Every structure is written in structure tokens, then in C-alpha cells.
């Protein structure tokens, strides 16, 4: 199992072979507050690195979700669509957002490791 | 400009508030448990709201003042009993709403609670309208603390004896630590509750007492979801200078007698809108599914005509569905009419709903 990496948009990504599982970080959920709605990218659609790949809405506002790498969407987590509160409860495990077939593994290189991300989220304060 | 703070600012911080800038004040949007928990705890238990940013205007005067205020507001004030509160509006000649407010008759005049963002302009306007006839004071020395929810009465009664005797939309002076505090049975959450006006220096310890008795601090975030579930308007969103109380479906707040007798600012427009109807009207809206339609979302008819706009929208934590309010062409305002809401480029089905979304539980008359 490969290491979990993180984006500046507060997504996490775990690569397993060609399959990347993507979700949002604990830190992101703390900033967003209670999540009450989620929209995921369509199965089979292609998404480009840093491109829009869904929406989450908290009681306060809507926020876009970005994909940290390019690829084709192969699975959606319907359980968070049905019960968005799961995202606040367990964002970095059970409440993953989508899986994609990664098209260019080198895109992983520019992402942060856990330590770098923790430093980044603390320093950026957002 | 530097934000002002209320007397409860350090208490907010102590209880883990996320502070935001709101109407020139640093105010809590939420505390550590989050908006949904805060919302539910208000509906099930009791919530404490710091609303000290709101304006507390006192105008001293006798029966002549009531007469002069009736020339401004569409409320019945000459017949307003001592300690009775009325919801009303400050309007322009076109019946556009400068502010919505609560007027309470007190022993030596009237108290008016104003929206924070409007309070200074309201004060200037009222001063212009009333001239120098009356002493007017927009207080900086008073805090305003609301306690709302089914357990509010039990909790407050323990600290200030006698509040359970108050009727809804009525107030009185009470003794608290040898000081007189003024309490009304009112609020803006759709729950039974009270608003306590007291000197700033007592506010923090008093609030700690409410917390010790089991009430929870609630931020502006949950205040918004609570009032929206209760179908109540937020000034600057659901009502403003370009909307009249008739268009806003708030005719109930204008007394029948005043609609006949007139003599208040905006009367001609109100009268003509009642007689002829308005082209747009405020309605409740329930989206199908879980989609949330926020402010400025465009409303379409089934045949794809632009027929209105959302003014407030959120997810209702107590009713577990998304809810919204907006203005729609009057011919589409009937309950259950099917409409479409354009969110992120896609049209989502919704329907016109009765208001409130959440049933109120006000105490109408404990002594009647």
C-alpha cells in the first residue's frame, strides 16, 4: 500500500496500483463545518489535475472539490451522498469521495507527504 | 475599520467560538460543536445567543410619542399596552423596508430593537422624523442576550424569578443582582424564549449562569438555520429597501386598524398593494432531494421562464431537508406549484411550500 499524499486544496490521495482513492482531509472538514450535501463526479468521466471534481456544501456555504491528479472516475462513494455527515465523522477513511484510474503517476510527485501537509495547513491557516 | 466587540467577546473565545466579522462586530459564527449540534440543542434544550450587536433604542415620551410613532410605523402603538411588544417596519414612501424591528411600550416611552447593520441609519432617520421633541438613546451600555428553546423558561426562571409569568411578545422589568433588567418573551428561532437586556458589566457572569444551568452557546450559523426553518426573514436578504411588507408576505404585522386608518409612512403603497396585489411575493421553497439553493439562485417555471430568485437557502437540521425562501411571480406562488432551481448550471426540481417549515412552539398566554 502506498503512502497517502496531500494537495494544497486539502484533498488526500492514496495510490494502489493504478487506482487512486481521493477524499478531503480532517483539516478541510474542520474548516467547512457540518457537511450536508455532496456532489461527486460522474462515473466514467475524465478529470484533469486541479480540475473541478464535485462540490461539498456545509450549513454555511458551497465549496468546490478538486482532483489532485488526472484520470478516469471508476467509483463513487454513494454512502456519503446518502449521508454527508459521514464526511465529518471519518473524512480520511470511510468517507472517501471517488476512485480514479490515474493517467500519469508522476503527478503524485508534486503532492505533499503527511508531514509537509500538516506544516502547510498550520502555516497557511486556511 | 476595526470591528467592535460585545461584552461577551472573551466568553465566546473561552468556549471555542469561530469569530467572524458581522455588521461591524466580531461575532461567533459557531462554537466547537458545530452548527447542526447547536441548532438541535436549541430545538431540544436551550440555546444562548449573544445579540448585543443589535441596536437597543430608547425613546422617552408619553401619549404624544405614541401618536408620533404611529405616523412612522404601521403598528398600533396608541393602543399598545404597557410592556407589550410589536413586530414592525421602518419604511420609505414606497413601502420599501429600511429595517424590521420590535417595538415595546415601557413605562416612560418605547424601546425599539433594531438590526445591527441598520441601527445607526435607523437612528438618524428617526431623529430626523421626530425632530428634537424626544430624548433618544441608542445604548452602548446594554447587552442583549437571548435564551431560546423548550427548556429556556425553566433555566431562566432559576436565575430570574418570575419570567415564566410573561406572555409571548410581552416584557417586564425584573430584579437581577439589585439591578433592573428588562426581559421580553420573544426571539427569532421559532422556539419559546426570552431576550434579556442588561448592563454590559453583568452580561458575562449572567451568561455563565445560563450555561451552568444547562443552556448552550449558539452562533450566528445556527441562528440562521433556526430562523429559516421558522420561516422568518433576515434583513438584507429576504427583505430590504426594494421590498415591501406586502411583497414579503408580512401583512400580518400591519394591524387591520392601521390599514384602514393609514397615516404612516408608505401607507399609500401598502394600501394599493393590498387592493391590487403585487407582481412578486415571498414564498417558502422545498427542493426535491438534497440540493441546496442559496441566495441569488434563479427560479424557473416548468416551461423554463425566469420567475424569481432565492433570497435565503440552507439545509434544515431539524427537518433534515434543504429549505429556501425567495420571491416569485405571484401567479406561481400557490403551495405545491412545481418550479426549478438553477444550481451550478443544472435545473433541479422544487416546489412552493407553506411557511414555517418547522412548527412553532411559542407560549401564547400562560396567564390568560
ipTM of the complex: 0.82
Q: List the domain range (segments joined by +) for residue B328.
A: 279-353
A55, A59, A81 ranked by CB distance to B315: nearest = A59
Strands (E), chain B: 18-22, 25-30, 47-50, 55-60, 85-91, 97-106, 109-114, 136-138, 142-148, 171-176, 179-184, 193-199, 216-217, 280-287, 298-300, 306-316, 321-329, 338-343, 346-353
Of B214, B248, B276, which closes a domain?
B276
Q: Is A46 exposed, middle or buried (0-12, 13-18, 19+ CB in 10 A)?
A: middle
* Full pLDDT tens readout for chain A, 126 residues: 568 999 999 999 999 999 999 999 999 999 999 999 999 999 999 999 999 999 999 988 899 999 999 999 999 999 999 999 999 999 999 999 999 999 999 999 999 999 999 999 988 765
Domain harbouring B335, CATH code: 2.40.30.110
**Per the domain annotation, does B359 fall within a domain?**
no
Nearest CA distance, B80 vs chain A (angstrom): 39
Structure confidence at residue A74 (pLDDT)? 98
**Per the domain annotation, does B84 fall within a domain?**
yes
Q: Which residue has the cell 433570497?
A: B311
Dihedral sign from CA coordinates of B218, B219, B220, B224: negative
In a shared domain, residues B245 and B126: yes
B36, B291, B344 ranked by CB distance to A59: nearest = B36
Q: What DSSP state is assigned to residue B290?
A: T
Decide: B358 and B228 in contact? Cβ < 8 Å. Answer: no
Give me B99's grid cell: 429595517
A60: nearest CA partner in chain B:
B221
Q: What DSSP state is assigned to residue A41?
A: P
- The helix (H) or strand (E) run that includes residue B43 is helix B35-44
In a shared domain, residues B340 and B247: no
Nearest to A107 by CA among A79, A68, A72: A68
Beta bridge partners of B339: B350
Q: How far apart are CA B199 and CA B202, in angstroms?
A: 6
Tell me how long chain B is. 368
B181 alpha-carbon distance from chain centroid: 21
Structure confidence at residue A125 (pLDDT)? 63
A84: nearest CA partner in chain B:
B290
Of B218, B248, B276, which closes a domain?
B276
* Full pLDDT tens readout for chain B, 368 residues: 689 999 999 999 999 999 999 999 999 999 999 999 999 999 999 999 999 999 999 999 989 999 999 999 999 999 999 999 999 999 999 999 999 999 999 999 999 999 999 999 999 999 999 999 999 999 999 999 999 999 999 999 999 999 999 999 999 999 999 899 999 999 999 999 999 999 999 999 999 999 999 999 999 999 999 999 999 999 999 999 999 999 999 999 999 999 999 999 999 999 999 999 999 999 999 999 999 999 999 999 999 999 999 999 999 999 999 999 999 999 999 999 999 999 999 999 999 999 999 986 666 554 43
- The helix (H) or strand (E) run that includes residue B82 is none
In a shared domain, residues B271 and B300: no
Q: What is the pTM of this model?
A: 0.92
Give me B52's grid cell: 448585543
Q: What DSSP state is assigned to residue B239?
A: B
Tell me how many domains chain B contains.
Answer: 2
CB contact under 8 A, B292 and A60: no
Amino acid at each position: 500500500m502506498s503512502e497517502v499524499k496531500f494537495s494544497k486544496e486539502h484533498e488526500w490521495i492514496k495510490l494502489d496500483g493504478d487506482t487512486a482513492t481521493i477524499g478531503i482531509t480532517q483539516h478541510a472538514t474542520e474548516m467547512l463545518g457540518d457537511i450536508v450535501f455532496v456532489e461527486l463526479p460522474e462515473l466514467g468521466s475524465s478529470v484533469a489535475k486541479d480540475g473541478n471534481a464535485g462540490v461539498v456544501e456545509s450549513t454555511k456555504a458551497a465549496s468546490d472539490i478538486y482532483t489532485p491528479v488526472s484520470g478516469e472516475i471508476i467509483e463513487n462513494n454513494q454512502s456519503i451522498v446518502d449521508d454527508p455527515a459521514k464526511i465529518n465523522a471519518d473524512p480520511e477513511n470511510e468517507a472517501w469521495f471517488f476512485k480514479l484510474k490515474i493517467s500519469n503517476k508522476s503527478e503524485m510527485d508534486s503532492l505533499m507527504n503527511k508531514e509537509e501537509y500538516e506544516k502547510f495547513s498550520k502555516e497557511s491557516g486556511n | 475599520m476595526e470591528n467592535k466587540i460585545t461584552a461577551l467577546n472573551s466568553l465566546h473565545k473561552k468556549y471555542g467560538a469561530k469569530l467572524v466579522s458581522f455588521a461591524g462586530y466580531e461575532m461567533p459564527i459557531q462554537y466547537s460543536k458545530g452548527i447542526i449540534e447547536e441548532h438541535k440543542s436549541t430545538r431540544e434544550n436551550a440555546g444562548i445567543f449573544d445579540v448585543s450587536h443589535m441596536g437597543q433604542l430608547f425613546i422617552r415620551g408619553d401619549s404624544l410619542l405614541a401618536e408620533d410613532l404611529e405616523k412612522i410605523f404601521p403598528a398600533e402603538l396608541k393602543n399598545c399596552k404597557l410592556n407589550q411588544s410589536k413586530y414592525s417596519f421602518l419604511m420609505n414612501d414606497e413601502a420599501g423596508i429600511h429595517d424590521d424591528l420590535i417595538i415595546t411600550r415601557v413605562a416612560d416611552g418605547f424601546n425599539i430593537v433594531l438590526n445591527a447593520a441598520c441601527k445607526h441609519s435607523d437612528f438618524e432617520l428617526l431623529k430626523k422624523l421626530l425632530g428634537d421633541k424626544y430624548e433618544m438613546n441608542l445604548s452602548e451600555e446594554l447587552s442583549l442576550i437571548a435564551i431560546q428553546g423548550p427548556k429556556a423558561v425553566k433555566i431562566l426562571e432559576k436565575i430570574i424569578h418570575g419570567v415564566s409569568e410573561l406572555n409571548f411578545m410581552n416584557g417586564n422589568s425584573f430584579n437581577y443582582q439589585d439591578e433592573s433588567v428588562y426581559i421580553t418573551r420573544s426571539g427569532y428561532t421559532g422556539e419559546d424564549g426570552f431576550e434579556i437586556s442588561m448592563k454590559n458589566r453583568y452580561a458575562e457572569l449572567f451568561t455563565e449562569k445560563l450555561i451552568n444551568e444547562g443552556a448552550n452557546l449558539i452562533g450566528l450559523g445556527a441562528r440562521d438555520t433556526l430562523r429559516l426553518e421558522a420561516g422568518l426573514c433576515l434583513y438584507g436578504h429576504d427583505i430590504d429597501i426594494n421590498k415591501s411588507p406586502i411583497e414579503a408576505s408580512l401583512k400580518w404585522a400591519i394591524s387591520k386598524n392601521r390599514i384602514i386608518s393609514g397615516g404612516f409612512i408608505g401607507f399609500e403603497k401598502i394600501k394599493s398593494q393590498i387592493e391590487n396585489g403585487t407582481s412578486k411575493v415571498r414564498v417558502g421553497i422545498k427542493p426535491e432531494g438534497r440540493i441546496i439553493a442559496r441566495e441569488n439562485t434563479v427560479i424557473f417555471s416548468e416551461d423554463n421562464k425566469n420567475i424569481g430568485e432565492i433570497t435565503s437557502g440552507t439545509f434544515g437540521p431539524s427537518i433534515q431537508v434543504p429549505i429556501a425562501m425567495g420571491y416569485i411571480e405571484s401567479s406561481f406562488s400557490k403551495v405545491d406549484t412545481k418550479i426549478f432551481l438553477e444550481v451550478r448550471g443544472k435545473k433541479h426540481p422544487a416546489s412552493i411550500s407553506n411557511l414555517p417549515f418547522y412548527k412553532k412552539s411559542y407560549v401564547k398566554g400562560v396567564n390568560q
